[in-house]
C-alpha cells in the first residue's frame, strides 16, 4: 500500500521544506530527485567493512542490556506456541490441601458439567490457523483461565478470530448493480476444523446477511443445523451457532448469502465517478487492506488465514470487470457480451493461496493497453478511455514491464500470476494498493502527461509503481503474519522504491543519495520525539490496525533494511532474501523468520552475526541513538584511540533521563583524515554506552567522520574541535567527504543544535561552505533544515538577520547556475544526464525566491506577466510551482483570478494540483478565506485535495492564523470526513500546528486537545510535543542563534 497520496509533499512536523516569508508565501515540493553526479573520493565508496588501518579491537567488554528489558512480542510461531493458553496443570501434591481441593473439584465439576451441557461447549482453546497466526494473543487469551473460558463460550467477544476453523477455499459469487449501487453475493467457504467447536466465527461488516448454512464435506455428511446466526458489530463478526459440534480434523462448507450497498466512502467495495464527454460515468472497485474485505463478503479477514479464491462477477454487459486472476469463463477479456438473462457473468481463474485483503475486483467501463513481460506475463493498464487514448498510461506500462523483470532477477523468484493489471482510478484512499495481479492506483500516481509534468511528478509516480510491484513479492507472495509487522512489507517496498528506480534510471542515484533526505532525514525527525513508538507495535482491534501504516513503518522500516543491506553486503543480503521468499511463499512470515534467513546467509560465509539480536534493538525499541565520537585524550596512547558513546536522541531534553537505559547495537563506520589524506572507513560494532577503540595514528589536525555515506540509522556528534576540523575540510576541499556524508553532516548538525546537543552556531558555520558545493543533495539537506528554522523564526523581530544570512550563502551558486531555458523540456528531460543540474537549479531558485532575492522575484513576475499577456505558458515545468506561488504572492488579485481560472480549465492532473496550491500563496486574507471555505463546500476541490488547501494556507505566514482557526472551527466536519483516514488526519493536524511557537499558541493547542482530542489518534499528541519543542527552542536557544548571526562573517571574508 502506498500512502504517499495523503502524506506526500508536506508530511507535517518538520517534513515540509515549505517556507513562507513575511512578505510572501512560497511552497516547495519535497521532490524526489536525482543526482547523477555523485562526486566522491576514496571515502565515498560503499562501505566495505574491511578493517582499514588497524584491526578492530574493543577495549571494553561490559555485557549487553538483558533482552528482557525490551518489550516482548516476537512475532514467531514459538512465541505463539508458548503464549497459547491451555489448562495449566496445577500442582496438587501438597497433602494438606487435598481435602479442600477435592471438595472444590467436586463442586467445580458439577458447575462445569452443567455449563458444558447447557452450552454444548468444550472448554478448550483453539489453536491458530497456522504457524504464528495469532502471534499476538487477543485479550481473551490473556486474562487467565476465566477469560479463556469466556472466550470459548463466546469467542466472538475476543477481538481476534478464535482459530478453530481454517478457511481453505472461497467460492465467491457477486452480482453488481451499477444502476442503484448495490451488490448481492453468496460465498461458499471450505473450512477445516482445527479444534472442535459449535461456533462458526468469521468477519462481516455492514453486510445484510440473508441466509447461512453449514454442510459436512464428506459423503453422507449432510447439513449441520444452524441454531441461530447473528452479527456482532463490536468486533465486526458474523457468528453461526450450530446445533452440534464441528469435529477436527474434518472439513465443512459454510455458505452465506448477503447483500450491501456500494458506498461512496473509498473502503470495502466502493464507487467513484469521472466525466467523459460531459457525461458522468461510474465505476466500482475494492480496497480491502487492511480490514475491509469483510465489508464486501463474509470471510476470515486476518492476514494469516490464507486461502484460494474463485470469484464470479455478474454485471450489466455495458461494463467490464477485472479481478486478481484472468477470466476463466464467460465474456472473455475482449468479449463483454451479455448472457441470456441480459447479464454478463465472468468467472475468474482460481487464485493461489493469499490473504483476504489482497483480493480485488473492479467493475468499470475503462479501456486498456497491454504489453508482455518476461515469461509471457500479460501486463495491462486500465484507465478511463480518454486517458488511455492519449497515451497517459504508456510510461507506467513500460516501466512496469521492466520492473517485473528486475524483481524476478533480484529476488530469483518468478512472478506468481499469469497477468498483472494496473488500474488507474479517479479516487482512492491511498496512492495505490498492491492487490495481487490487480494493483490499483489513484490517477495522479500512474497517469503522466509528459508535456506538462515536472521531473518531480514523474519521479514520484515512478516510485509508486516501483513500490507496488515490489509488493507482489513482499506482501502478496509472503505476507506478514500480523499487522504489528506491517513494516516487513512496507519497509521493503519503500526501500525498493529507491533500488528499483536506480535500476530504471541509474543516473538518478536514488538509493545512495535521495534516500537520505527523503527517507532517513525525514523519519529521524519524527522518531526523535518521545511520542514516537517502536516500529513493531502491538495492535488488536480493527479500529487500531490502520494506525500501523505510518511513516515509522514505511520510512524507518526502509532505513533499517538499508542499514542491514549495507552491513551484510549486497550479495549476502540478496541470498538471504531469496531464501526468505522461497521458504515462506504463499504463506506468512514474521520478523524473526526474516532474521533467521539473513543470519543463515551470513553464517554460510562464516560470518556469525546474530541478525535477530541486533535488529531487535532497532525494531522493538522506539527512537534511535546519537553516537558521539571523540579522540580519547586520557589513554596512554592518546593518538591511537577514539571514544564512542551512544545515547537515545530526543529533541526534548526532559525525556532524556527516562530513556537512558535504551541501548542499540550500532554498526558504526568511521573514517579519518586531514587536509592531505583520508583513511577509508572501517566498521566498529558499538554495544555499550561508552567504548574505546583503537584506530590508526592521529594528529591534532586529523578529523573523524562517522556513519560513512549515512548507511546507519542514527546521528553522529563530535567534540567541537572535530566539528571545526570537518568544517575546515569542507571549505578547503569538500570532495574529500562523500556527497551523502556532506548532506548527513548538515542534517545532523542542524538537528543536534535544535535539540540542544550542539551550540546553535555550528550548523550555521557549517553551511558557510555551500558556495563551494556543486552537488544537489547537500543543498537539499540544507534547504530542508533552513525551512524548518524559518517556521520558527519568521515572526521574530530579528528575522532579517536570518534571511540575509541564508541569501548570502545562496547568492553565488544561484547566480552561477542561472535559470532553466524556457524551452518545453517536459518530455524525457528527466531521463537526460542534466537531471542533477536541473534539480540543483530548482533548489537554488526556490531558496532565492522564498528568502527574498530581488532578482529571483523579478524573474518570476516576468514569467507570469508573459503568460498572462501571451496566454502561452512558457514556464519550465520543473519550476512552475515556485513561479506560480511567487507570482501569486507578489502580484495583485488579477493574478490570483488568472490562476484560479487556469485551475478550472486545466485537465492535466499534475498541473491542476500545483495551480491549486499556488492559490494558497496569496497575501490577501479574504481570498485565502474564500479558498478555505470552497475547499470544504465545493466539488471544485476534490475531497482528497481539500486537506492540501488547508495545510498550504497554513504554510503561508499570512494564512497561518486563518488555517489554525479554520481547522478548529471546522474540526467536526473535518474529523467526520477524514478522521478514519489517519494519514490525511495527521497531515492536516501537523500542517496547521507545526509553526505554532508561542506560549499563547501552545495554550490554544492544549485547550483544543482538551475539548476535542479524543479519537484524533496519535497526531495530536505529536503536535503537542512539537509545539512544546518550538516554544522551548525560543526560550533556550533563540538568543544564542541570533547572537551568532550578528557576529557571523560574511562569506566573502571568512
Ligand atoms: Zn506499500
- Residue 583 C-alpha to ligand 1 middle, in angstroms? 22
3-state helix, strand, coil split of the chain in percent (to 5) is 45, 20, 35
Is 994 among the catalytic positions?
no
CB hemisphere CA count around 783 (13 angstroms): 30
Buried b (16+ CB within 10 A) or exposed e, 710-741: bbbbbbbbbeeebbebbbebbeeebbbbbbbb
- Residue 670 C-alpha to ligand 1 middle, in angstroms? 34
- Residue 487 C-alpha to ligand 1 middle, in angstroms? 9
Can you give the pLDDT at residue 974? 87
Instruction: Count the Cβ atoms, other than its own, within 10 Å of residue 527.
Output: 22
CA distance 442 to 106: 65
Full DSSP string of 637-689: TGGGEEEEEEEE--SSSGGGTTTTT----EEEEEEEE-SS-EEEEEEEEE-SS
Nine cell digits for residue 861: 513576475
- pLDDT digits over 901-915, tens only? 999 898 777 788 899
Confidence of residue 331 (pLDDT cuts 50, 70, 90): low
Nearest to 658 by CA among 709, 611, 622, 712: 622
- Residue 432 C-alpha to ligand 1 middle, in angstroms? 8
- Residue 541 C-alpha to ligand 1 middle, in angstroms? 21
- pLDDT digits over 985-1031, tens only? 788 999 999 999 999 999 999 999 988 866 556 888 899 999 999 99
- Residue 466 C-alpha to ligand 1 middle, in angstroms? 10
- Residue 782 C-alpha to ligand 1 middle, in angstroms? 29
Can you give the pLDDT at residue 937? 83
Q: Is the pLDDT of residue 107 over 90?
A: no
Average pLDDT over residues 658-665: 81
Which residues contact residue 980 at a Cβ distance below 8 angstroms, ignoring those fewer than 6 apart? Answer: 267, 546
Confidence of residue 56 (pLDDT cuts 50, 70, 90): very low
Calculate the alpha carbon distances from 316 to 177, 329, 365, 392 in Å: 7, 16, 11, 28
Phi then psi dihedrals of residue 635, to 5 deg: -70, 165
Confidence of residue 150 (pLDDT cuts 50, 70, 90): low
Average pLDDT over residues 943-965: 90
- Residue 595 C-alpha to ligand 1 middle, in angstroms? 21
Strands 19-20 and 237-246: unpaired
- Residue 3 C-alpha to ligand 1 middle, in angstroms? 7
Percent of the chain with pLDDT over 70: 81
Q: Is the pLDDT of residue 73 over 70?
A: no
- Residue 433 C-alpha to ligand 1 middle, in angstroms? 7
- pLDDT digits over 775-822, tens only? 999 999 999 999 999 999 988 999 999 999 999 999 999 999 999 875
The C-alpha torsion from 121 through 127 and 129 to 134, rounded to 10°, is 120
Q: Is the pLDDT of residue 21 over 50?
A: no
Can you give the pLDDT at residue 114? 46
| 456-465, 611-620, 755-764, 1015-1024: segment of lowest average pLDDT | 1015-1024
Q: In this structure, are residues 767 and 746 in contact, taking their beta carbons and an 8 Å threshold?
A: yes
Sign of CA dihedral 463, 468, 474, 480: positive
Average pLDDT over residues 365-386: 94
Can you give the pLDDT at residue 339? 65
Nine cell digits for residue 617: 534493538
Q: In this structure, are residues 820 and 878 in contact, taking their beta carbons and an 8 Å threshold?
A: yes
| 24-38, 267-281, 300-314, 867-881: segment of lowest average pLDDT | 24-38
Nine cell digits for residue 461: 509516480
Confidence of residue 57 (pLDDT cuts 50, 70, 90): very low
- Residue 805 C-alpha to ligand 1 middle, in angstroms? 41
Can you give the pLDDT at residue 980? 65
Average pLDDT over residues 382-410: 96
Can you give the pLDDT at residue 822? 59
Average pLDDT over residues 579-605: 96
Q: In this structure, are residues 709 and 562 in contact, taking their beta carbons and an 8 Å threshold?
A: no
pTM of the model: 0.85
Burial class (CB in 10 A: 0-12, 13-18, 19+), 222: exposed
More confident residue, 681 or 32: 681
Three-state DSSP string of 941-963: CCHHHHHHHHHHHHHCCCCHHHH
Active-site choice (468, 839, 911, 1028): 468
Calculate the alpha carbon distances from 857 to 424, 854, 956 in Å: 38, 5, 17
More confident residue, 4 or 981: 981
- Residue 747 C-alpha to ligand 1 middle, in angstroms? 27
- Residue 470 C-alpha to ligand 1 middle, in angstroms? 9
- Residue 839 C-alpha to ligand 1 middle, in angstroms? 27
Amino acid at each position: 500500500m502506498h500512502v504517499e497520496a495523503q502524506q506526500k509533499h508536506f508530511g507535517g512536523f518538520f517534513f515540509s521544506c515549505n517556507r513562507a516569508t513575511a512578505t510572501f508565501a512560497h511552497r516547495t515540493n519535497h521532490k524526489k530527485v536525482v543526482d547523477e553526479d555523485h562526486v566522491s573520493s576514496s571515502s565515498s565508496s560503499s562501505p566495505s567493512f574491511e578493517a582499514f588501518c588497524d584491526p578492530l579491537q574493543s577495549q571494553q567488554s561490559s555485557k549487553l542490556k538483558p533482552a528482557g528489558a525490551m518489550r516482548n512480542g516476537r512475532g514467531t510461531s514459538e512465541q505463539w506456541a508458548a503464549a497459547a493458553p491451555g489448562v495449566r496443570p496445577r500442582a496438587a501434591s501438597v497433602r494438606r490441601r487435598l481435602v479442600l481441593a477435592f471438595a472444590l473439584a467436586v463442586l467445580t465439576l458439577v458447575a462445569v458439567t452443567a455449563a458444558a451441557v447447557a452450552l454444548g461447549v468444550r472448554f478448550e482453546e483453539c489453536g491458530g490457523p497456522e504457524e504464528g497466526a495469532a502471534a499476538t494473543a487477543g485479550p481473551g487469551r490473556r486474562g487467565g483461565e476465566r477469560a479463556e473460558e469466556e472466550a470459548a463460550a463466546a469467542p466472538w467477544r475476543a477481538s481476534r478470530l478464535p482459530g478453530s476453523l481454517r478457511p481453505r477455499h472461497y467460492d465467491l459469487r457477486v452480482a453488481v448493480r451499477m444502476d442503484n449501487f448495490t451488490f448481492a453475493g453468496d460465498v461458499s467457504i471450505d473450512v477445516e476444523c482445527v479444534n472442535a467447536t459449535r461456533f462458526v466465527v468469521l468477519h462481516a461488516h455492514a453486510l445484510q446477511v440473508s441466509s447461512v448454512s453449514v454442510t459436512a464435506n464428506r459423503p453422507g455428511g449432510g447439513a449441520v443445523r444452524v441454531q441461530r446466526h447473528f452479527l456482532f458489530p463490536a468486533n465486526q463478526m458474523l457468528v453461526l451457532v450450530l446445533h452440534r459440534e464441528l469435529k477436527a480434523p474434518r472439513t465443512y462448507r459454510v455458505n452465506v448469502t448477503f447483500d450491501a450497498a456500494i458506498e461512496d466512502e473509498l473502503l470495502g467495495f466502493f464507487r467513484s465517478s469521472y466525466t467523459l464527454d460531459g457525461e458522468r460515468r461510474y465505476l466500482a472497485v475494492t480496497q480491502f487492506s487492511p480490514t475491509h474485505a469483510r465489508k464486501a463478503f463474509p470471510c476470515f479477514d486476518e492476514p494469516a488465514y490464507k486461502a484460494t479464491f474463485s470469484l464470479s462477477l455478474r454485471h450489466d454487459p455495458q461494463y467490464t470487470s477485472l479481478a486478481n486472476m484472468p477470466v476463466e469463463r464467460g465474456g472473455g477479456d475482449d468479449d463483454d457480451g451479455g448472457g441470456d438473462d441480459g447479464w454478463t457473468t465472468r468467472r475468474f481463474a482460481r487464485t493461489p493461496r493469499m490473504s483476504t485483503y489482497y483480493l480485488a475486483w473492479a467493475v468499470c467501463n475503462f479501456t486498456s493497453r497491454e504489453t508482455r513481460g518476461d515469461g509471457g506475463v500479460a501486463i495491462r493498464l486500465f484507465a478511463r478511455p480518454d486517458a488511455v487514448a492519449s497515451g497517459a498510461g504508456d510510461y507506467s506500462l513500460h516501466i512496469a514491464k521492466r520492473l517485473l523483470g528486475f524483481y524476478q532477477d533480484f529476488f530469483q523468484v518468478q512472478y506468481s500470476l499469469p497477468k498483472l493489471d494496473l488500474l488507474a482510478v479517479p479516487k482512492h484512499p491511498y496512492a495505490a494498493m498492491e492487490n495481487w495481479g490487480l494493483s490499483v492506483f489513484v490517477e495522479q500516481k500512474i497517469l503522466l502527461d509528459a508535456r506538462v509534468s515536472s521531473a518531480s511528478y514523474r519521479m514520484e509516480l515512478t516510485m509508486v509503481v516501483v513500490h507496488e510491484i515490489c509488493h507482489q513479492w513482499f506482501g502478496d507472495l509472503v505476507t506478514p503474519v500480523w499487522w504489528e509487522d506491517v513494516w516487513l512489507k512496507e519497509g521493503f517496498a519503500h526501500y525498493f522504491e529507491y533500488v528499483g528506480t536506480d535500476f530504471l534510471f541509474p543516473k538518478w542515484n536514488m538509493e545512495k543519495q535521495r534516500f537520505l533526505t527523503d527517507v532517513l532525514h525525514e523519519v529521524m525527525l519524527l522518531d526523535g520525539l518521545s511520542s514516537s513508538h517502536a516500529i513493531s507495535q502491538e495492535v488488536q482491534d480493527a479500529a487500531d490496525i490502520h494506525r500501523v501504516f505510518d511513516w515509522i513503518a514505511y520510512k524507518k522500516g526502509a532505513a533499517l533494511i538499508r542499514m542491514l543491506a549495507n552491513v551484510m553486503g549486497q550479495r549476502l543480503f540478496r541470498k538471504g532474501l531469496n531464501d526468505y521468499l522461497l521458504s515462506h511463499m504463499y504463506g506468512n512470515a514474521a520478523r524473526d523468520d526474516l532474521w533467521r534467513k539473513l543470519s543463515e546467509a551470513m553464517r554460510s560465509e562464516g560470518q556469525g552475526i546474530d541478525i535477530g539480536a541486533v535488529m531487535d534493538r532497532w525494531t522493538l525499541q522506539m527512537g534511535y541513538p546519537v553516537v558521539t565520537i571523540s579522540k580519547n585524550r586520557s589513554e596512554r596512547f592518546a593518538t591511537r584511540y577514539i571514544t564512542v558513546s551512544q545515547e537515545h536522541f530526543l529533541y526534548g531534553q526532559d525525556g532524556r533521563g527516562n530513556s537512558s537505559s535504551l541501548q542499540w547495537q550500532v554498526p558504526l563506520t568511521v573514517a579519518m583524515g586531514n587536509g592531505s589524506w583520508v583513511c577509508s572507513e572501517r566498521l566498529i560494532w558499538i554495544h555499550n554506552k561508552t567504548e574505546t577503540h583503537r584506530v590508526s595514528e592521529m594528529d591534532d589536525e586529523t578529523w573523524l567522520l562517522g556513519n560513512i555515506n549515512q548507511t546507519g540509522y542514527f546521528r553522529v556528534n563530535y567534540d567541537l574541535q572535530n566539528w571545526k576540523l570537518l568544517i575546515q575540510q569542507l571549505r578547503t576541499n569538500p570532495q574529500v567527504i562523500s556527497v551523502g556524508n556532506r548532506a548527513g553532516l548538515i542534517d545532523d548538525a542542524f538537528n543536534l543544535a535544535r535539540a540542544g546537543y550542539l551550540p546553535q552556531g555550528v550548523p550555521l558555520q557549517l553551511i558557510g561552505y555551500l558556495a563551494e558545493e556543486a552537488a544537489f543533495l547537500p543543498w537539499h539537506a540544507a534547504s530542508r533544515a533552513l525551512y524548518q528554522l524559518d517556521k520558527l523564526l519568521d515572526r521574530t523581530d530579528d528575522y532579517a538577520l536570518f534571511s540575509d544570512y541564508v541569501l548570502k550563502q545562496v547568492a553565488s551558486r544561484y547566480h552561477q547556475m542561472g535559470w532553466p531555458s524556457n524551452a518545453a523540456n517536459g518530455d524525457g528531460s528527466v531521463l537526460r544526464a542534466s537531471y542533477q543540474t536541473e534539480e540543483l537549479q530548482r533548489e537554488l531558485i526556490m531558496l532565492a525566491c522564498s528568502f527574498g532575492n530581488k532578482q529571483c522575484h523579478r524573474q518570476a513576475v516576468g514569467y507570469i506577466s508573459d503568460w498572462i499577456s501571451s496566454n502561452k505558458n512558457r514556464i519550465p515545468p520543473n519550476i512552475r510551482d515556485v513561479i506560480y506561488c511567487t507570482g501569486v504572492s507578489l502580484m495583485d488579485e488579477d493574478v490570483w483570478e488568472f490562476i484560479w481560472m487556469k485551475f478550472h480549465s486545466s485537465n492535466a492532473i499534475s498541473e491542476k494540483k500545483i495551480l491549486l496550491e499556488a492559490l494558497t500563496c496569496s497575501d490577501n486574507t479574504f481570498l485565502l478565506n474564500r479558498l478555505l471555505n470552497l475547499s470544504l463546500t465545493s466539488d471544485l476541490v476534490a475531497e482528497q485535495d481539500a486537506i492540501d488547501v488547508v495545510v498550504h494556507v497554513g504554510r503561508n505566514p499570512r494564512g497561518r492564523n486563518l488555517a489554525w482557526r479554520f481547522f478548529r472551527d471546522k474540526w467536526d466536519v473535518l474529523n467526520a470526513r477524514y478522521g478514519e483516514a489517519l494519514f490525511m488526519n495527521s497531515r492536516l493536524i501537523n500542517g496547521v500546528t507545526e509553526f505554532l511557537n508561542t506560549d499563547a499558541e501552545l495554550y490554544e493547542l492544549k485547550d483544543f486537545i482538551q475539548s476535542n482530542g479524543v479519537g484524533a489518534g496519535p497526531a495530536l499528541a505529536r503536535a503537542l510535543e512539537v509545539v512544546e519543542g518550538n516554544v522551548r527552542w525560543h526560550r533556550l536557544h533563540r538568543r544564542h542563534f541570533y547572537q551568532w548571526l550578528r557576529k557571523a562573517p560574511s562569506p566573502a571574508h571568512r
